[in-house]
A = this chain, B = another copy of it.
Amino acid sequence: MPNSVDRPSLSRSIEDYLKVIYKLELESGSAQTSAIADALAIAPPSVSGMVKRLADAELVTHVPYRGVELTEAGRRQALRMLRRHRILESYLIGHLGYDWDDVDREAERLEHAVSDDLVERMAVKLGNPTHDPHGAPIPSAAGTIDPTRYLPMTEIEVGHAGRFRMIGDADPERLRFIASLGLRPGAEFRVLDRQPFNGPVTIELDGDRKEVIGFALASSLQCEQLEEPTLP
């Protein structure tokens, strides 16, 4: 029996579009033209054009003026790209001495050039990790992904302990700063204070060190709330 479905292999552009659409659907429920344009640094009319092609290829359904939604095939490809990207980042850090702030650029290009075979070899060398260095879940080769959602650090209640789980990987400076605080995915902390009006969050780390984190930054730290508050 020959290959049942001949997929013509997607272009680099299409692969990046699918990833972005997946992330937008995940974060805000829908993927609108301007959001895609922003994320890819492309003009909105160009996105309209590509959306047409994606819809023709049945990777996406499009309701004009409303937005775009991944089809099952589109979602499968998006998850395949996320697996590639996250395995690559993990491998670059684990075996080639990269830091967590400089892997994204490299992976963003490599994800379009590696074969499935190479990705799986890297995954095996890494011991089939479930999360990448920034805490993001790595889809399985079969196309499933851990659906766990976390809370921004700003929503962990005062007095509670929390665990830092995940952070976006696109901003190297932010990653370096977070690392300089001693915060890595998995790190435990306790919220000592939250200032109102989008004010900073004060946390305690390693049982003694205090750090004050601005609202915008704290909002980008995806965390898990751990336990009931300790009583005074």
| A interface residues (Cβ-Cβ under 8 A, vs B) | 92, 95-98, 105-106, 109-110, 112-115, 117-118, 121-122, 125
A110 to chain B: closest residue by CB: B113
Pair A106/B121 contact, Cβ less than 8 Å: no
Among A96, A112, A121, chain B packs the most CB atoms within 10 A around the CB of A96
In the bound assembly, the distance between CA atoms of A114 and B106 in angstroms comes to 7
Residues from chain B with a CB closer than 8 A to the CB of A117 are: 106
In the bound assembly, the distance between CA atoms of A154 and B118 in angstroms comes to 37
Pair B109/A121 contact, Cβ less than 8 Å: no
In the bound assembly, the distance between CA atoms of A95 and B113 in angstroms comes to 18
A121 CB contact (under 8 Å) in B96, B118, B121, B122: B96
Residues from chain B with a CB closer than 8 A to the CB of A121 are: 96-98
Pair A96/B122 contact, Cβ less than 8 Å: yes
Residues from chain B with a CB closer than 8 A to the CB of A110 are: 110, 113-114
3 A-B pairs with least C-beta separation: A113-B113, A109-B113, A96-B121
Residues from chain B with a CB closer than 8 A to the CB of A109 are: 113-115
Known pairs A97-B121, A113-B113. 7 more at Cβ < 8 A? A95-B125, A96-B118, A96-B125, A98-B121, A106-B115, A110-B110, A110-B114
In the bound assembly, the distance between CA atoms of A150 and B92 in angstroms comes to 37
In the bound assembly, the distance between CA atoms of A113 and B12 in angstroms comes to 11
Shortest beta-carbon distance from A4 to chain B in Å: 22
In the bound assembly, the distance between CA atoms of A113 and B112 in angstroms comes to 8
A96 to chain B: closest residue by CB: B121
16 cross-chain CB contacts under 8 A:
A92-B118, A96-B118, A96-B121, A96-B125, A98-B121, A105-B115, A106-B114, A106-B115, A106-B117, A106-B118, A109-B113, A109-B114, A110-B110, A110-B113, A110-B114, A113-B113
Residues from chain B with a CB closer than 8 A to the CB of A114 are: 106, 109-110
